[in-house]
């Protein structure tokens, strides 16, 4: 085993598209305010659905891309390109000044170009078309978003797409960090994107019987992680992209630094395709702590996976108790999915934005709709109101997935530098 000292990796730029807004500040302020993005689905097919709610992003690609570009870009790639541009501008990074082979792009997605795929099936089987749009494959393939980013910015380093269901973007970010830590790259563009609110995809999720029932009094209150009356997850869409840099590289160019990505752990449950494992989740959290060289009591906040399903929330609570012991009772934990829904392959990235800004601002977003405590979920979930904390130093973000692949990231402050 090598004894070489790993290089340190920091976040210098953030871009986001979400049901809470399309800038990091707007997104985080809406989280702190407890503003839910869950509403009735706006698509024309809504009346044919059993589940008529989702967390939708207010994003019109025609405002950002010309017609010729849109002919090649599924909504999932539009999200990714928008976020990448936002993150690069936020980092004040001039990519022409960086050796192209030292910059790569890692992205996570669960479904890839879902709209392009569904449009193809619709044309074939409903409209009885004899041929499809010529760029259908190029829009639908899972690697499209990462490839489009690389071409847009002339990135010649490693370019990979990770598809591990709900942990896809957490894995993408963690593996991007490793590229820098081990000296293969100085800069990585990394994150996740998902745009799966199509008729076929929603119907497939309905068949799994994991989607939340509509709240009878207010649709916006339908996602209730850790609550005794939770009924399931709410599908969402969006993306987040980070600029990751080697610490001294970022410092040398005078970059604003949000936080250090100090720990990353990934494991597989190896038990069941849909049922989460306490031991598997615990091993991922412990691996991230070990990687960060931290002990449990140093973590002050966890952005939980917290989907709102009965099994997931109880399992994650038990896993946190297993890893953190008595400190679990002192931890602040929240599920921002209560507001932005479950963004599947983009969830880890979008939730890492929330975790980053919580660390920077010493403000913890709430878990909204938590009014009926569950005896099986008896920790501090920052219920309904955001929390101010003193000098938060280390925060964890959990991403768990169908198939059992877990991705856990830990962020730490660097010199207590504030981002905004």
CATH classification at residue 346: 3.40.47.10
Q: Are 242 and 272 contained in the same domain?
A: no
**Residue 409 and residue 264 in contact, taking contact as beta carbons nearer than 8 Å:** yes
What pLDDT score does 1 carry? Answer: 40
Residue 390 lies in a domain: yes
- Segment 85-98 shows an average pLDDT of 97
- Segment 397-404 shows an average pLDDT of 98
Structural domains counted in the chain: 2
Burial of 141 (0-12, 13-18, 19+ CB in 10 A): middle
**Residue 380 and residue 398 in contact, taking contact as beta carbons nearer than 8 Å:** no
Active-site residue, selected from the candidate residues 105, 166, 185, 377 = 166
252: Cβ–Cβ under 8 A, 6 or more apart, which residues? none
Residue 335 lies in a domain: yes
Active-site residue, selected from the candidate residues 105, 223, 342, 394 = 342
| Residue finishing a domain among 219, 252, 285 | 252
What pLDDT score does 5 carry? Answer: 86
Q: Are 407 and 319 contained in the same domain?
A: yes
Q: Are 213 and 325 contained in the same domain?
A: no
Give the model's confidence band at 420: pLDDT under 50 very low, under 70 low, under 90 confident, else very high: very low
Residue 1 lies in a domain: no
Q: Are 169 and 269 contained in the same domain?
A: no
| Residue finishing a domain among 252, 283, 303 | 252
| Residue finishing a domain among 252, 282, 314 | 252
Q: Are 190 and 325 contained in the same domain?
A: no
Q: Are 72 and 181 contained in the same domain?
A: yes
Residue 257 lies in a domain: no
Does 342 qualify as catalytic in the annotation? yes
Residue 419 lies in a domain: no
Q: Are 273 and 173 contained in the same domain?
A: no
- Segment 292-302 shows an average pLDDT of 98
Active-site residue, selected from the candidate residues 305, 340, 377, 394 = 305
Is residue 387 scored above 80 in pLDDT?
A: yes
What pLDDT score does 3 carry? Answer: 55
pLDDT tens per residue, range 341-365: 999 999 999 999 999 999 999 999 9
Q: Which domain holds residue 73?
A: 9-252
CB atoms within 10 A of CB 58: 12
pLDDT tens per residue, range 63-90: 999 999 999 999 999 999 999 999 999 9
Q: Are 231 and 273 contained in the same domain?
A: no
Q: Are 268 and 375 contained in the same domain?
A: yes
- Segment 7-11 shows an average pLDDT of 98
Does 305 qualify as catalytic in the annotation? yes
Q: Are 232 and 268 contained in the same domain?
A: no
Mean pLDDT of the chain: 96
Q: Are 16 and 153 contained in the same domain?
A: yes
């Amino acid at each position: 085993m090598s004894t070489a000292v790993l290089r340190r990796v920091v976040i210098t730029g953030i871009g986001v598209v979400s049901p809470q807004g399309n800038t990091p500040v707007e997104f985080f302020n809406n989280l702190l305010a407890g503003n839910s993005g869950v509403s009735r689905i706006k698509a024309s097919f809504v009346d044919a659905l059993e589940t008529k709610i989702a967390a939708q992003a207010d994003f019109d690609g025609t405002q950002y891309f010309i017609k010729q570009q849109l002919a090649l870009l599924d909504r999932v790639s539009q999200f990714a390109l928008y976020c990448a541009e936002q993150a690069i501008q936020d980092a004040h990074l001039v990519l022409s000044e960086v050796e192209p082979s030292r910059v790569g792009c890692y992205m996570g997605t669960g479904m890839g170009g879902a709209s392009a795929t569904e449009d193809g099936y619709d044309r074939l089987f409903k409209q009885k078309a004899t041929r499809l749009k010529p760029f259908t494959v190029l829009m639908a393939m899972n690697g499209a978003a990462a490839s489009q980013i690389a071409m847009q910015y002339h990135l010649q380093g490693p370019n990979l797409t990770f598809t591990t269901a709900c942990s896809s973007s957490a894995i993408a970010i963690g593996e991007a960090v490793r590229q820098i830590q081990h000296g293969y790259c100085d800069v990585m563009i990394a994150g996740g994107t998902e745009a799966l609110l199509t008729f076929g995809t929603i119907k497939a999720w309905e068949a799994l019987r994991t989607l939340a029932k509509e709240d009878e009094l207010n649709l916006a209150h339908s996602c209730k992680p850790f609550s005794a009356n939770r009924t399931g997850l709410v599908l969402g869409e969006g993306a987040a992209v980070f600029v990751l840099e080697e610490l001294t590289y970022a410092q040398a160019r005078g970059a604003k630094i949000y936080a250090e990505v100090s720990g990353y752990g990934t494991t597989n449950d190896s038990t069941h395709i849909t049922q989460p494992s306490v031991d598997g989740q615990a091993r991922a959290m412990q691996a991230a702590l070990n990687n960060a060289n931290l002990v449990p009591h140093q973590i002050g906040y966890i952005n939980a996976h917290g989907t709102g399903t009965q099994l997931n929330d109880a399992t994650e609570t038990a896993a946190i108790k297993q890893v953190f012991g008595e400190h679990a009772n002192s931890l602040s934990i929240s599920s921002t999915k209560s507001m932005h829904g479950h963004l599947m392959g983009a969830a880890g990235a979008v939730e890492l934005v929330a975790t980053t800004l919580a660390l920077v601002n010493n403000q913890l977003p709430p878990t909204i709709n938590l009014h009926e405590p569950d005896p099986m979920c008896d920790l501090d979930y920052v219920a309904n109101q955001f929390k101010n904390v003193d000098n938060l130093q280390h925060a964890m973000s959990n991403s768990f997935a169908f198939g059992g692949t877990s991705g856990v990231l830990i962020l730490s402050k660097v010199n207590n530098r504030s981002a905004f």
